[in-house]
Structure 1
Amino acid sequence: MTTKNLIFKVARFNNEANGSDLQSLLTSALKSKSAALSRRQSTDHEGRFRLINYNGPFKGLRVGEMFDYTRGHQQPTAEFDDDAEQLELSSIAPPGDKTEFLHSILYFGIQGNAVILAQSTSLKSLQFEEYVNWLLREEGVLSDEDFVALCDQPPIEKEKELGNTKGIEVKAPVDLSPSKTPAPRVSGEISDTKSISLKPSGSAWEALRTLLPAEINLPSKLSASDIMRERSLEVRLFLTWSNNQKDDSTELMDDISNQLRHVDSELDYTIHTRSGKITRDEIKLKKPVSVPTNSKGLIRRDEMWERIKNWLNELVSDDKIVIDA
């Protein structure tokens, strides 16, 4: 048994005039490329590829698995010895000339334009979106000028509010690491948390440093006792615009939402509207599920498809999504 996190996306085409949905287009492209290796896409990393392997129908869905690998990649190993001062490192090659080690496996289920993904370490919605666009263009079912984006689904009951967006609040935690400066000690022990200092860093801290004028010197160290009392330290940015530029603000909001669709990091955000707030958790639908594995440690596909289908039905019955073409 293993745990996978399911996420929901909705496919949006820049050209809606073709009237097709992602399920039908992807099914057509996959049938045209019947050999698995004919669906192999080269990535920006030399010798690294990704491809959709198994795919087929399941209770109204188009389901499948996608994996990535690096040609000739060898897997590092360590020899564990309880008495050794250091462990012996080595590597093993794939067992056979036609075998490759896989980096990770992503699972998907698509009905109409509704997409559910079980992401992996190196394959997430961004990589799946890139692959789908490449495959559809390769088979000519999508022109070079057209594309499909895997977007987040705002709560149905709040979708109209997005047109009245006032701004978006973005926040991210500050990375804190112990300062290299030795802390004062009392009888061989650190006296208290007041003597411990932490060095702030990370993208959020650098963003704050860039935003503030040069005359303002941010502290290079922070007291651990202050951080422990506040429990966390984060940077918040609030993007807003004037009320008399409604059209521009809506366009900006669409662009921001588009850029945030693949963000799975610690970056958090809240959309502020005239009617209230829409949080990231409301927009990014996800659910952890337990899936049985077989004797080889691989996920049992039929069980994964069943969990994807059940969650999709649950989202529809709870009025969180509408499956449309």
Structure 2
Amino acid sequence: MAKIHKTVHCKIAQVPKLKGSLQAAVAAELAIREQAADRLERVSNRSGSVGRSRVIAQSYTYKGALAGVLLAYEPGSKAAALIKDMSAKQLSISHFSAPDDDVTGTPQDWVEGLLYFMIRENYVVFAQSTTVRSIQLEHHLTWLLTQNVASPVIVTLSDRAPRDVEQLIRTNHVKSVFIGGSLISADQEGLSTDKVDRQSVKLAGPMLDAVKATLGGQQFRWLDGLDGNLEAKLELTFKRDTTTEAQKLLDNLAVALRHVEGVDTDLVLANGQKIAHDRLRLITSLSMDATDGVPNVSSVFESMYGWLKSLANTGQL
């Protein structure tokens, strides 16, 4: 059987208004929403379209954890295909709908992306795709837990450094914090990229926000940099020495900045040791069984559970 490697993250859920664990709350909601239609989240409702949707398509109890698959799709969407005639001067592109199921004749839709997740108490392990990422999982869990309550139950998935790295920071202290990432990115949540005019795309990103704040009210054509691979970097440091209070602030910033989506954080400690951004997060690459390049669900959950168990056994959680 073929193998595939997937990047897997472990985050801790922060849910201030929730009594009990995230696992228990989500399991309770899924138990009363047995039919997919009852747990289908409409992300957008554009004119003439049912709208992009998210749903936990599958969920299981796996060795005491809650495992599931979150997917995004747009009803009636079509896929593009290249008509491969290399003798032609111009290549033609066709669009076609997903075929009906061969056995039952049930209509099908193309899936935009999948996110595999496992929740154990308040720890969330997941493998994301290009289009369905942790922020979409946050939004969907928030939506799911808010349907039957008076006030929103906000779910935030936060990175945390392994305990040994946190101790290293506290013992040696931070001399410099480097944060960097793409200056400009497109926020297309709820938008289908093949149907959106470039001028309607909303520009976003923490590095862009920082640069805009520095420039005050000056106006620039930020859209011109969308496909330009522009990067931004920021260093927080002190020249010779600093106060005890400021050092504590820098240490806390170093630990907290790893939570920011869309940026990478690298540290230099006072003893000269460097800590790369991937060591500030619980992240790994796991090998899984796959068929035609698609991970087998049982293998995904087995790999996730094994990694989560190893983190617990080595005291990293």
What TM-score do the two structures reach when normalised by structure 1? 0.68
Partner SS state of residue 73, structure 2: strand
- Please report how far the alpha carbon of residue 270 of structure 1 lies from its aligned counterpart in structure 2 after TM superposition: 2.9
Partner of 2:23: 23
Change beyond 3 A, Cα 1:42–1:164: farther
Contact 2:53 2:72 in 1 (8 A): yes
**Alignment partner of 1:116 is 2:125:** yes
**Counterpart amino acid of residue 35 in structure 1:** Q
Contact 1:163 1:250 in 2 (8 A): no
Contact 2:12 2:122 in 1 (8 A): yes
Contact 2:170 2:251 in 1 (8 A): no
Contact 2:60 2:68 in 1 (8 A): yes
Map 1:198-277 → 2, pairs under 5 A: 211=214, 235-238=233-236, 243-244=244-245, 249=249, 253=253, 257=256, 260-261=258-259, 263=261, 265=262, 267-270=264-267
Partner SS state of residue 259, structure 2: coil
Contact 2:162 2:282 in 1 (8 A): no
- Please report how far the alpha carbon of residue 129 of structure 1 lies from its aligned counterpart in structure 2 after TM superposition: 0.9
Which range is displaced more, 279-288 or 56-65? 279-288
Map 1:132-147 → 2, pairs under 5 A: 132-140=141-149, 144-147=151-154
Change beyond 3 A, Cα 1:166–1:287: closer
**Counterpart amino acid of residue 293 in structure 1:** A
Partner of 2:180: 172
**Counterpart amino acid of residue 313 in structure 1:** K
**Counterpart amino acid of residue 135 in structure 1:** L
Change beyond 3 A, Cα 1:89–1:174: closer
Contact 1:10 1:152 in 2 (8 A): yes
Partner SS state of residue 298, structure 2: helix
Identity %: 22
Partner of 2:53: 49
Change beyond 3 A, Cα 1:244–1:128: same
- Please report how far the alpha carbon of residue 285 of structure 1 lies from its aligned counterpart in structure 2 after TM superposition: 1.5
Partner SS state of residue 320, structure 1: coil
Partner of 1:307: 303
Partner SS state of residue 60, structure 2: strand
Partner SS state of residue 290, structure 2: coil
Q: How many residues align?
A: 267
**Alignment partner of 1:125 is 2:134:** yes
Map 1:56-75 → 2, pairs under 5 A: 56-75=60-79
Contact 1:162 1:250 in 2 (8 A): no
Partner SS state of residue 125, structure 2: strand
- Please report how far the alpha carbon of residue 94 of structure 1 lies from its aligned counterpart in structure 2 after TM superposition: 2.0
- Please report how far the alpha carbon of residue 276 of structure 1 lies from its aligned counterpart in structure 2 after TM superposition: 7.7
Alpha-carbon distance in structure 1 between the residues aligned to 2:260 and 2:62: 26
Partner of 1:105: 114
Instruction: Summarize deviations over 1:222-270 as a string: whole Å, max 9, x none.
Output: xxxxxxxxxxx973321779644799x499849x83x75252x463343
Contact 2:116 2:126 in 1 (8 A): yes
Contact 2:11 2:160 in 1 (8 A): yes
Which range is displaced more, 23-32 or 152-161? 152-161
Alpha-carbon distance in structure 2 between the residues aligned to 1:307 and 1:42: 31
**Counterpart amino acid of residue 93 in structure 1:** S
- Please report how far the alpha carbon of residue 278 of structure 1 lies from its aligned counterpart in structure 2 after TM superposition: 5.7
Change beyond 3 A, Cα 1:48–1:164: farther
Map 1:65-104 → 2, pairs under 5 A: 65-96=69-100, 98-104=107-113
**Alignment partner of 1:151 is 2:158:** yes
Partner of 1:221: none
What TM-score do the two structures reach when normalised by structure 2? 0.70
Change beyond 3 A, Cα 1:244–1:236: closer
* Alignment RMSD (CA, Å): 3.9
Partner SS state of residue 120, structure 1: coil
Change beyond 3 A, Cα 1:11–1:204: closer
Partner of 1:284: 281
Change beyond 3 A, Cα 1:252–1:65: same
Alpha-carbon distance in structure 2 between the residues aligned to 1:108 and 1:50: 14
Alpha-carbon distance in structure 2 between the residues aligned to 1:12 and 1:54: 24
Structure 2 unmatched runs, 5+: 101-105, 184-204, 217-230
Q: Which has the larger radius of gyration?
A: 1
